[in-house]
Structure 1
């Protein structure tokens, strides 16, 4: 039977929803699932993880050095905690992409990246060529498997009837000191988080300016949605880079995705392929976005978006 260790992603004492999606992936692999929480104050995070359905136990490592999620500091601890486990998983987010390759290097094994489907305990599907193709990969069964989970492909695990036990883990690991935390800068917004929002409204280069992006913000606020953008809009300076959706931005899977003035380059479509309903607004009837859209509106976005906003009341 598989023994799966999931490295918890958290910030400001709260578990990231990406961890619950990793648990769904782990349940499809099958076996005992443990969640590893590395922090300076672990209690609240561990309690949250323990209430997720499918978790057998939560392991905690409370050290002052774990106050900030530095991959260089976390990696040797994860490598040590992995002893006895058949699989080690982390979300394919900035956190997981930074951490798990280091762990793989320490353990001397290869990593399976962006797991989007489970065919067996050691056989998975993952996207390649910017999502243009899906490949099946089979990993060796005689060594620990490390994998990052494409969280847009999985629903979050629900709540369990009873909380799993929480155990403090004692690791005799020397931590590197060549990396230190300086500061974290992140945008603050009252809107939903882009990666976990059920509704997202994104704007493209066709908006023409940062000022015109107000149309996107207003529509998003009407819908209670997060705001996203194409790479072209980000490169043009209309919005900050943390709103970028696509292969080189955020991979998302909202229930509703509205693309305004976005032509639909393959790199952008890769980031929204798992969305429930895709609505496209573009004046070019031949735009690639219409090939994947469930609903398409051909016309001037500066006319259609205000009309849509008024129709929402």
Structure 2
């Protein structure tokens, strides 16, 4: 398969087929697919399963290509996708991210509960009273409640968002292209879990490596590209990617490569940007060139 054919195949698979990566089952299917794809041309792949503390039942999974423990640099992104919400995406603001997610889960749950109450008052109870339990209308009402409570359970956990090309499939496609193109023992790659929730995957990676980390996030949007870091030594000379030194970043070893709108001291992607259905080819090419400079030509 040629390089162009491979890129098209990845686009179809990870945007159209495996574009939702919210539930444990969806994320597991994604990791199995990526593992199989990369294994065709690289064998140094590892899936790291972990939990946050012994009492936490939630299991997370990172996928590493190369040795993150001995690498000088790790290029990474998160692979999970968020629940449906109608707010903008605020980079680096974990508290805002959690607050927005809980807000919209609460709103959608409340609306769905009200729908169930209205159905019960105006259709369910009158149907059972008039038709009895074993009539066709009553059986249909019972089927409605089975489907209703199944969907309510899904909604209270967060309904997976459908449009995730920008956040964050664009970054996944870019890193897959890099893995295929460049192999350097001093460079490792990582696909991280929980980037849309609590950054568990990134925290786990930081505990396992002393390498400089280059985190790619939502680079396929129509907004400009920025490189954001606390340590200016991580910056890459690239005219098309503005350098922003951010003292607010807690970790000195991370540089973020993002596509966003700069808003005073913060970076934001609007709802409209997040819902874009087409990749910004200019950004994708610039980001590729940027990370090629990070990797270096020491093969």
- Structure-1-length-normalised TM-score: 0.25
TM-score normalised by length of structure 2: 0.26
Higher strand share: 1
Task: Tell me which of the two structures has the higher relative contact order, counting C-alpha pairs closer than 8 angstroms and 6 or more residues apart.
Answer: 2
